[in-house]
Amino acid sequence: MKNVIKSILILLGVLFFSCISTFALEEKPKTLSAGIELTEQIPAELIGIWRVVSNIDYTDSPDTFKTFDVVLWNLSKTGNVINLWSLATGVSASVTVEYVKNNTVRFTHEEENNNQRLTDTVEITIIGNKFTGKNYLSIKSYSSKDGSLLKEKTAVYSLKGDKISGKSVLEN
The pLDDT value given to residue 11: 36
DSSP 8-state code for residue 49: E
Q: What is the pLDDT of residues 46-76, one digit of tens each?
A: 888 999 999 999 999 999 999 999 999 998 8
Q: Is the pTM of this model over 0.75?
A: no
Please say if the pLDDT value at position 18 is more than 70.
Answer: no
The CB density around residue 163, as the number of other CB atoms within 10 Å, is 20
| SS3 of residue 116 by DSSP | strand
The pLDDT value given to residue 39: 67
The CB density around residue 106, as the number of other CB atoms within 10 Å, is 19
The CB density around residue 103, as the number of other CB atoms within 10 Å, is 16
Dist. CA 167–CA 28, nearest whole Å: 33
